[in-house]
Structure 1
Amino acid sequence: MIKKRLRELKLELPEAVPPLYSYVPVTVHQGVAYVSGQVPRVNGELPYTGKVGAEVTIEQARELAKVCVLKGLSCLEAEIGSLDKVEQVLKVTGFVQSAPGFSQQPKVLDAASELLQAVFGEKGRHARSAVGVAELPGNTPVEIEFVFAVNVQQ
């Protein structure tokens, strides 16, 4: 049971909040759940802003990546009712607002990948892209989107 696993890891899902703009947080089609890009707002605020490798350290960005995962899982749970319906994490795409010359985006995204594997075990292993970008909304250092295989029949 995923809720039990989250407790064991001393993790709590934040409340799923509605998007700020014109889109839905999750779309489910034929057993695949697409989770919109998650930014690491905590109580409506970004703990850190700026470019990773300049104003934001790799460790701070890794913390933010974990927040993105928890927010994504919260949105997914709100849509499908239970994270126990996750059959596989299929794909993670992470965007890292990067300072010129910064090339350690995979190290930032490893925090998200490691967390998903800790929560879901073998089902948490996934394909991934770690992309450096010039700008992200609200000057957030990290944004992550997810694709999950889900059993909506459960």
Structure 2
Amino acid sequence: MNVHVATGGYAERALSIIDDLKHLEGPMLPILHAIQHEFGFVPEEVKPVLARELNLSRAEVHGVVTFYHDFRDAPAGRHVLKICRAEACQAMGAERVVDQARQLLGIDFHQTTLDGAVTLEPVFCLGLCACAPAAMLDSEVYGRVDEHSLTELVAEARR
């Protein structure tokens, strides 16, 4: 994420990203991923620019952004903790892990701690069904997560 754009002015940089990628077949998802990579989220002011450049309605762009759980409408914390909500993890006690995460962090899904350290997000399958329940801290995946290992993950994220 470029720090110099964190105070606004997203449209100009987004236009450059769009211009670089709009030649692709089905360019909206690659463009949205690039925008989120650049800014850490998809700024509201970028949606009409993207709609105009791809000859789409704002509603179509908004629909795609809100449909996919990975796109954010606000910057995430320094670390992102995702807890699997799929059936295998639910069957193996993920709800206890979720409740503990909410308690330890003092936030709910799609929220960030006040100190900006951790954003908590649900995820629907990390591919570790045999090692359920599963979680991911940033890009590192963990299986057989329990109350003890979750406490360690949260402590690591808070450092």
TM (normalized to structure 1)?
A: 0.30
Bigger relative CO (Cα 8 Å, ≥ 6 apart): 1
Q: Comparing both structures, which one devotes a greater share of its residues to strand? A: 1
Larger Rg: 2
Structure number with higher helix proportion: 2
TM-score by length of 2: 0.29
